[in-house]
A and B are shown apart, each in its own frame.
Chain A
Amino acid sequence: MASEETSSGGGRRPARLTVLLIVLLLVPFAYSVVGRFVPKGTASDEVFLERPPAKYKRCVKGTDYMRYHHWELLRETREQVVRYGIRGEIALDRCRECHQKRERFCDQCHSAVSLTPDCFHCHYYP
């Protein structure tokens, strides 16, 4: 009798744990399904590039490069200026000539991918 009780008690615990784990697995489904049918403020989570006023015909590099590698360009520029004193064409100030607002341009992507670059700790970019 005693062994019977312990074994049935042991059987209930895994069952409860399984239900908990399955519920965990289903949370993202619920999120997606609810997100589909509940209208949001914005049309979607997707971030789109703001088209800047056309002061220049093109940026310093191609769109694909600027989209994914602009930080490399800026990092390189920083090194050139800070370490070697070489000031070239590229400066964060000049980006602002087309991409005027930080929250409309930089922050949109950065916050979407949980990124907090330290550029703006020093550079004024409203």
Chain B
Amino acid sequence: MVETTPDLSHRSQGAPALPGADMSSVAARNARPIRIEPDLDFIRSLNQRAGNALKKCFQCGTCSATCALSSDRLPIPRKEMAWASWGMKERLLNDPDLWLCYQCNDCSTSCPRGARPGDVLAVVRQEAVIHHAFPRFYGEWANQPHSIPLLLGIPAALLTLALVLRAPLENALGISRSLGPRISYSYSNVLPHWLLNTLFLLIAFLAVLCMIRGVLRLWCSMRTTCAGDGRALRAKGFLASLGVALKSVLAHDRFSKCAQSRSRYWSHLAVFFGFLALSLVTLWVITAPYNPLIQGNFVYPFSFWNPWKLLANLGGIALVGGCLWMIWDRLRNGEEAGVSTFFDWALIATLLAAALTGFMTEILHYVRLEPHRHLAYFVHLVLVGALFLCLPYTKLAHIIYRTAALTSAAYYGRDSTGPAMRVQATTSQGMEV
């Protein structure tokens, strides 16, 4: 009771009409007329993809009441449902709170009208990725099933080109092709590390550049949404906010609050830590020649019981297991897992295929099948390349956008919303009434 009251007065002075903030600031905003120009095509396309949800929603607010992540400072998903019904496309696509929903579908299963707000938000997130993508036409193109051949073809062509150019480049740069006195049954006689590192760093650089552009777009719009007329209510420094966000991402604490589809927490945890482990091992191997910590003591390929190899294998198993779990969940519990679109399947399938071809490469390596292991490795590299090239355009972009949204929530002090505080807030209101 004591905690919430000063906060409300504080906000009414700052007056940046926060979505779902207290009544006084909303009243201040309503003093001047707001003209809504509905984007009818947007409403139509949302309705098409989320089962006519917007026609069913009658704004009862059950969704926000059942959502474990919703709070008085940061209410989801009722306001998003309203904006969607009104066709406020810009507002919706720039909404940071979109990314604070984990689609547990607690709201969808308890909606008295079967409007499935969780699915609507998932579809809007997909639209937001395309909206913030740079270049945007590529984002639109990359999310269509008929683009798959070219999406895989581009990294395949790049890798083939690199292999064709390998011999002349090695001659020109004076890179020795002899293996020296080292004994290792490695891949470097066909796909040397210098070539792969250069190519993939280039791909990653491009992807990160486009991603930065996209995330800056989102950040700017979040600033407008959260800070209104520029009088920002900063609660923390930027780095501290980023720390809070990363901690939340690592702990999956928001994910763990979902009641309806508890298994999503476990499958995502497996995929997340599997992916993280594999990324760490890859980074370690790439930086090995320049890493002062391991110089002189680095043998590649690792032996089977080397801790790095063990970590990579465990990570791979977690990734495959998590992906299979997600697929099983989506196929079996369609109702609870929510609608699955091409956007969802593309990411799960690419991750699973990349992990499986990785294991295939390893197995073929151990059974010493000479051309086959290189072929498997090639396919694996193409899939990994496709994953990176499409980072800003596919569902994988949620890594960045969600972290940005969590950071902004901490930055503008909208995140201190434990369940305990929600209980206090409701009792205080009840007492006032």
Residues of B within 8 A of A14 (CB): 251-253, 256, 265
A22 to B249 CA separation, bound complex (whole angstroms) = 12
Cα distance, A114 to B362, chains bound together (Å): 14
**Chain A, residue nearest B423 (CB):** A4
Given A25-B311, A32-B293, A67-B251 contact (CB < 8 Å): no
Inter-chain contact A25/B276, CB cutoff 8 Å? yes
CA distance A109 to B252 in the complex (A): 43
Verify B294–A3 contact, CB threshold 8 A.
no
Hey, which chain A residues are within 8 Å of B236, CB to CB? none
Q: Which of A39-47, A78-86, A90-98 contacts B (4 or more CB under 8 A)?
A: A39-47
Residue among B252, B295, B305 making CB contact with A114, cutoff 8 Å: B305
* Cβ-neighbour of B252 out of A18, A36, A43 (below 8 A): A18
- Report A116 CB to chain B, min CB distance, Å: 12
Contacts of A31 in B (CB 8 A): 307-308
Within 8 A of B (CB), among A96-112: 108-109, 112
What are the residues of chain A within 8 A of B182 when measuring CB–CB? Answer: 46-48
A28 contacts chain B at the CB level, 8 A cutoff: yes
With A33-B293, A36-B293, A112-B303 in contact, do A48 and B181 touch (Cβ < 8 Å)?
yes
Q: Does A71 contact B (CB under 8 A)?
A: yes
- The residue that A15 contacts in the complex, of B251, B284, B307, with Cβ under 8 A, is B251
- How far apart are A110's CB and chain B's nearest CB, in angstroms? 10
**Beta-carbon contact of A64 and B179 below 8 Å:** yes
Determine whether A27 belongs to the interface, using a CB cutoff of 8 Å to chain B: yes
B277 within 8 A of A: yes
Is B281 a contact of A18 with CB atoms below 8 Å? no
Q: Which residues of B contact A25 (CB under 8 A)?
A: 273, 276-277, 280, 311
Q: Are B250 and A35 in contact (CB under 8 A)?
A: no
Task: Report which of B183, B250, B277, B314 forms a contact with A49, defined as CB distance below 8 A.
Answer: B183
Q: Are B253 and A44 in contact (CB under 8 A)?
A: no
Q: Would you list which residues of chain B between 29 and 46 have a CB under 8 Å from chain A? A: none
By size class, the interface of chain B is: 35 or more
- Residues in A neighbouring B273, C-beta threshold 8 A: 21, 25
Q: Please, how many angstroms separate the alpha-carbon atoms of A49 and B299 in the complex? A: 14
Contacts of A7 in B (CB 8 A): 257, 418-420
CA distance A27 to B185 in the complex (A): 26
**Secondary structure class of chain A's binding surface, majority of residues:** helix
What residue in chain B is nearest A38 (Cβ atoms)?
Answer: B297
CB of A35 within 8 A of CB of B297, answer yes
Given known A-B contacts A21-B273, A44-B296, A114-B305, A28 and B284 have beta carbons under 8 A apart: yes
Inter-chain contact total with CB atoms closer than 8 Å: 102
Does B281 contact A28, Cβ atoms closer than 8 Å? yes
Taking a contact as CB atoms under 8 Å apart, the answer to whether B419 and A4 are in contact is yes
Known: A21-B273, A36-B293. A28 touches B307 (CB 8 A): yes
Contact yes or no, A45 B252, CB < 8 A: no
B252 partner residues in chain A, CB cutoff 8 A? 14, 18
Chain A contact patch, size range: 35 or more
The answer to the question of A69 belonging to the interface, with a C-beta cut-off of 8 Å to chain B, is yes
Taking CB atoms, residues of chain B closer than 8 Å to A64 are 179, 189
Q: In angstroms, how far is the closest chain B Cβ from the Cβ of A43?
A: 8
Residues of A close to B137: CB separation below 8 A = none
Q: Does A10 interact with chain B (Cβ within 8 Å)?
A: yes
Determine if A10 and B296 form an interchain contact, defined as CB atoms under 8 angstroms apart. Answer: no
A102 and B304 CA atoms in complex are apart in Å by 22
Once bound together, how far apart are the Cα atoms of A25 and B311, in whole Å? 7
Query: How far does the Cβ of A111 sit from chain B's closest Cβ, in whole Å?
Result: 9
Taking CB atoms, residues of chain B closer than 8 Å to A43 are 296
Give chain B residues whose Cβ lies under 8 Å from the Cβ of A109: 183
A18, A27, A67, A69: the one contacting B183 at CB < 8 Å is: A67
B297 touches A36 (CB 8 A): yes
| Interface contact A44-B299, CB-CB below 8 Å | yes
Q: Which residues B280-305 have CB closer than 8 A to chain A? A: 280-281, 284, 293-297, 299, 301, 303-305
Query: In the bound complex, do residue A46 and residue B307 qualify as a contact, i.e. CB atoms below 8 Å apart?
Result: no
Judged by a CB distance under 8 angstroms, whether B91 is at the interface is no
Judge if A11 is at the interface, Cβ distance under 8 Å: yes
Residues of chain A whose beta carbon lies under 8 Å from any beta carbon of chain B: 3-4, 7-8, 10-11, 13-15, 17-18, 21-22, 24-25, 27-28, 31-33, 35-36, 43-49, 64, 67-69, 71-72, 108-109, 112-114
14 contacts between A and B (CB under 8 A): A4-B423, A7-B257, A8-B418, A10-B256, A22-B250, A24-B311, A25-B280, A36-B293, A36-B297, A44-B297, A49-B181, A71-B368, A113-B304, A114-B305
Query: Which B residues have a C-beta under 8 Å from some C-beta of A?
Result: 179, 181-185, 189, 250-253, 256-257, 265, 269, 273, 276-277, 280-281, 284, 293-297, 299, 301, 303-305, 307-308, 310-311, 314, 368, 370, 418-420, 423
| Known A36-B295, A45-B303, A113-B303; 13 more pairs at CB < 8 Å | A4-B420, A13-B256, A14-B252, A22-B250, A24-B314, A25-B280, A27-B307, A28-B308, A31-B307, A36-B296, A44-B296, A44-B297, A68-B189
